[in-house]
Amino acid sequence: MTIDNEASKKLPLVEHLIELRRSLLHSVTAIVIFFLILFPFADEIYTFIAAPIVQAIPGSNLIAIGVISPFLTPLKMSLILAIYIAMPYLLYQLWMFIAPALYRNEKRLVLPLVISSTILFYVGLLFSFYIVFPVIFNFLASVGPESVNFAPDIQYYLDFILKVSFAFGAAFEVPIVTILLIVFGATTAEKLKKNRPYIFIGSFVVGMVLTPPDIISQFLIAIPIWLLFEAGLFFSTFFKVRKNNPEKSATKNQPKDWSDKSHNEMMDDIEIEMNSKVISSPEKDN
């Protein structure tokens, strides 16, 4: 009986691990398929990715310091691009793994949230590539000494592009995060509205961290983050908020009344029973 009980308790955990393994395998398979498709065009892909800095520095080329950098850098770029292209499927697998813990009405949100989060992620990538990067590279090219030839290494350039573009893609998920926090009861729209000044300042802090120290590029990320936060607040009103069971919470938080009549009667009965045992024990000894 004990073994059966332990097995029944462990079974849900095993099922969750199996589901996690299945989601990871499907995600990795999708990334590998896209990588194999993109790998023959690795050089063309890197040339396209290097366009913002090449246009900002006319007549200059990127250099390769590492011995195998000309081979590994385009290869790495193809892999990262495969992950970006597979992002809708990856997000879908993530939501499907979380779905068993959701209510029926919340499961209906999976498809809209996957589509919207994917679109926002791609918009963030395009925003960084076509708007932010030209501003950043023009700024970096203008602040250096004239005697210094600005020719970045291809590996460092790729790392910078990936970090900043992914940061913008993640930052554009602010509306989805805002909606989820409100829907699942982690916070309320009223609390977020009261903390709006702190969020506004925080968006500029994020812009300062993610971009070079110029006011233009900071505004380019801070203003969209703040506007997307406001959009998340607006659209959260169209979603049903998860509520805890009020009866359970009321019972849990209800203070114990030690002056209750039934409690006093119970304590009196215990006292009478103990006194009777004390009186009867000497008689047994005699």
Whether residue 33 is predicted with pLDDT greater than 90 in this model: the reply is yes
Give the residue, 256 or 39, on which the prediction is more confident: 39
| CB neighbour class for 172 (10 Å; exposed up to 12, middle 13-18, buried from 19) | buried
In this structure, what are the phi and psi dihedrals at residue 16, rounded to the nearest 5 degrees? -65, -40
Q: How big is the chain by its Cα radius of gyration, in Å?
A: 30
Give the residue, 58 or 74, on which the prediction is more confident: 74
In this structure, what are the phi and psi dihedrals at residue 242, rounded to the nearest 5 degrees? -70, 135
> Which bin fits 214, alpha (ψ -120 to 50), beta or left (φ > 0)?
beta
The winner for highest mean pLDDT among 59-68, 128-137, 237-246, 266-275 is 128-137
Average pLDDT of 58-83? 81
Question: Which alpha helices (DSSP H) does the chain contain, by range?
Answer: 2-38, 42-49, 51-56, 69-85, 87-98, 104-107, 110-127, 133-143, 154-171, 174-183, 189-194, 196-210, 215-236, 246-253, 261-285
The pLDDT of residue 131: 85
**pLDDT, tens digit, 9 for 90 and up, residues 203-214:** 888 777 766 666
Whether residue 246 is predicted with pLDDT greater than 50 in this model: the reply is no
The winner for highest mean pLDDT among 200-214, 236-250, 264-278 is 200-214
Give the residue, 3 or 101, on which the prediction is more confident: 101
Lookup result for tokens 């009986």: 1
The pLDDT of residue 264: 62
Q: Is the pTM of this model over 0.75?
A: no
The pLDDT of residue 105: 67
